[in-house]
């Protein structure tokens, strides 16, 4: 007689957005979750800490009142020095990818404060809002160069953001303005909300080139606080997130095949999130997960929903303004976005953009970066490593947005 076959419960087709029903269901069960006495042993066997203690552990309601820890304001003198750095770089006649602390020089005191942003991202509360720039003063190219120049003085290494491993500067806009909504295949390039997720890299940098009419705030949540909640009551969810999940690339599999990867990683007592619902759920009618791939199980869907609902419950909506630059720890924090409405097209009809427009870099500070566990090594090599046959690295920068660029990016929410 043949042995019984183990059956893995398959969930209903998962969706990018967690439904109100599933949210209420999970929230009602939160109160039923009891402390797990087996947590330390269970997690230790998997190489994960029983809990995390760090300034990176916080709730949104707490951190919103601590503006002095996360808001940095540029003075008029700082702006002049940044413009001097731009003029210096322009005078060198170099390609934008050549921007560095040496080619975009800033005074030592300002550089020290920007270095402090890196320290806050890695060792403090994990994020900073840098305020004081006025995008209306500069051309599209100069806005991008200033963002890159400041960021080079925060963290010197830029990550590739596209699948072909060349582009380091991404423009986040509502691409649905230029196409039929049902044809949009990525949540990041709509005016809709975005689920909580991580990009690829140590530090995520976002420059608010222009804002929305209403909504559109970047929401951040402490993944380390979320981890502690799960470690104390549902260590099985942590173990599930640490397993390999088959991620759909939604591309030509001969070039970009599906990849097995965990949603969380751990090394030296640090937990690192590389979480996204998108490669597991798809997005909309034209971006469905390939049915030939392993279906998402009930246990996996519960884990996905737990991360989203817990992150949303304790999130902080950043009070950003036009011209702000946000730097955040992309491994310890998760981020999402509110739904938004656009400005009226006729308000600035001569501008290239009349909508919410963010510029994005993914950065790394070699002096503070966390050692990568083996499970992250392939990703780090892909985004930080060589892309030339001779072992060198060549970066490209799209200083201006053009319709269709959104199809380039490897991580879209």
Q: What is the pLDDT of residue 397?
A: 95
SS3 273: strand
The number of beta carbons lying within 10 Å of the beta carbon of residue 254 is 6
Q: What is the pLDDT of residue 313?
A: 95
Q: What is the pLDDT of residue 348?
A: 44
For helices 76-92 and 140-152, what crossing angle results, to 10°? 100
Phi, psi torsion values for 108, nearest 5 degrees = -60, -40
Nearest CA among 173, 180, 182 for reference residue 212: 173
Paired sense of beta strands 203-210 and 357-364, if any: antiparallel
CATH number for the domain harbouring residue 267: 3.60.130.10
d(CA 45, CA 36): 15
**DSSP per-residue letters across 366-383:** TTTPPPPPTTTHHHHHHH
Residue 31 counted as domain residue: yes
**With contact defined as beta carbons under 8 Å apart, do 166 and 395 qualify?**
yes
The number of beta carbons lying within 10 Å of the beta carbon of residue 191 is 21
Q: What is the pLDDT of residue 295?
A: 94
Q: Would you give the DSSP letter of residue 150?
A: H
Q: Which residues contact 166 (CB under 8 A, 6 or more apart)?
A: 160, 387, 394, 395, 396
Residue 12 counted as domain residue: no
What tokens appear for 118 in the block?
A: 């890196």
Residue 355 counted as domain residue: no
Q: What is the pLDDT of residue 306?
A: 97
pLDDT in tens, 13-35: 889 999 998 898 888 887 788 77
Residue numbers in the chain where pLDDT is lower than 50: 1, 3-7, 346-353
Residue 15 counted as domain residue: no
The number of beta carbons lying within 10 Å of the beta carbon of residue 89 is 23
Q: How far is CA 196 from the centre of its chain?
A: 9
Residue 14 counted as domain residue: no
Domain count, the chain: 1
d(CA 5, CA 185): 37
Integer CA distances (angstroms), 35 to 38, 72, 195, in order = 9, 39, 27
**With contact defined as beta carbons under 8 Å apart, do 133 and 380 qualify?**
no
Q: What is the pLDDT of residue 39?
A: 61
Q: Which residues contact 328 (CB under 8 A, 6 or more apart)?
A: 121, 126, 127, 128, 203, 204, 220, 335
Q: Which domain holds residue 183?
A: 20-340+360-407
For residue 352, with 0-12 CB atoms within 10 Å meaning exposed, 13-18 middle and 19 or more buried, which class applies?
exposed
Alpha helices in 9-98 (DSSP H): 20-30, 39-45, 60-63, 67-70, 76-92
**With contact defined as beta carbons under 8 Å apart, do 135 and 323 qualify?**
yes
Residue 189 counted as domain residue: yes
Residue 183 counted as domain residue: yes
Alpha helices in 153-297 (DSSP H): 223-233, 235-241, 278-281
Helices first, then strands: H and E counts in the chain: 12, 18
Q: What is the pLDDT of residue 187?
A: 84
Predicted model pTM: 0.93
Q: What is the pLDDT of residue 62?
A: 96
Q: How far is CA 25 from the centre of its chain?
A: 27
- Please name the residue that has the structure tokens 């034209």: 286
d(CA 70, CA 336): 18
**With contact defined as beta carbons under 8 Å apart, do 125 and 56 qualify?**
yes
Phi, psi torsion values for 155, nearest 5 degrees = -150, 130
Adjacent-strand bridge partners of 214: 341
Q: How far is CA 276 from the centre of its chain?
A: 9
What tokens appear for 402 in the block?
A: 């053009």
Q: What is the pLDDT of residue 403?
A: 77
Q: What is the pLDDT of residue 45?
A: 82
Q: What is the pLDDT of residue 398?
A: 93
């Amino acid at each position: 007689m043949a042995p019984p076959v183990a059956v893995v419960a398959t969930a209903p087709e998962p969706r990018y957005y967690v439904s109100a029903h599933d949210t209420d269901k999970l929230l009602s069960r939160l109160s039923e979750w009891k402390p797990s006495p087996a947590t330390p042993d269970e997690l230790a066997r998997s190489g994960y800490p029983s809990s995390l203690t760090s300034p990176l552990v916080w709730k949104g309601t707490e951190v919103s009142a601590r503006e002095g820890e996360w808001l940095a304001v540029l003075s008029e003198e700082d702006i002049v020095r940044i413009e001097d750095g731009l003029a210096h770089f322009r005078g060198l006649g170099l390609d934008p990818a050549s921007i560095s602390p040496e080619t975009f020089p800033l005074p030592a005191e300002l550089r020290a404060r920007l270095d402090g942003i890196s320290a806050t991202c890695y060792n403090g509360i994990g994020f900073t809002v840098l305020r004081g720039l006025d995008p209306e003063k500069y051309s599209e190219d100069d806005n991008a160069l200033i963002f890159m120049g400041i960021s080079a003085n925060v963290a010197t290494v830029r990550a590739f953001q596209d699948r072909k491993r060349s582009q380091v500067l991404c423009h986040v806009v509502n691409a649905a303005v230029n196409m039929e909504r049902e044809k949009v295949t990525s949540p990041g390039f709509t005016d809709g909300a975005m689920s909580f997720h991580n990009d690829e890299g140590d530090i995520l940098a976002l420059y608010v080139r222009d804002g929305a009419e209403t909504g559109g705030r970047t929401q951040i949540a402490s993944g380390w606080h979320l981890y502690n909640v799960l470690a104390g009551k549902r260590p099985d969810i942590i173990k599930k997130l640490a397993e390999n999940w088959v991620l759909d690339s939604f591309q030509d599999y001969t070039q970009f095949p599906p990849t097995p990867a965990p949603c969380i990683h751990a090394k030296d007592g640090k937990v690192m999130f590389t979480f996204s619902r998108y490669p597991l759920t798809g997005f909309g009618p034209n971006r469905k997960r390939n049915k030939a791939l392993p279906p998402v199980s009930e246990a996996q869907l519960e884990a996905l929903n737990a991360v989203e609902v817990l992150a949303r419950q304790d999130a902080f909506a950043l009070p950003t303004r036009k011209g702000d630059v946000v730097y955040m720890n992309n491994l310890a924090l998760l981020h999402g976005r509110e739904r938004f409405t656009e400005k009226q097209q006729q308000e600035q009809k001569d501008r290239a953009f009349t909508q919410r427009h963010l510029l994005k870099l993914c950065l790394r500070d070699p002096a503070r970066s966390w050692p990568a566990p083996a499970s992250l090594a392939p990703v780090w090599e892909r985004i930080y490593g060589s892309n030339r046959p001779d072992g060198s690295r060549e970066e490209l920068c799209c200083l201006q947005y053009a319709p269709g660029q959104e199809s380039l990016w490897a991580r879209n929410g």
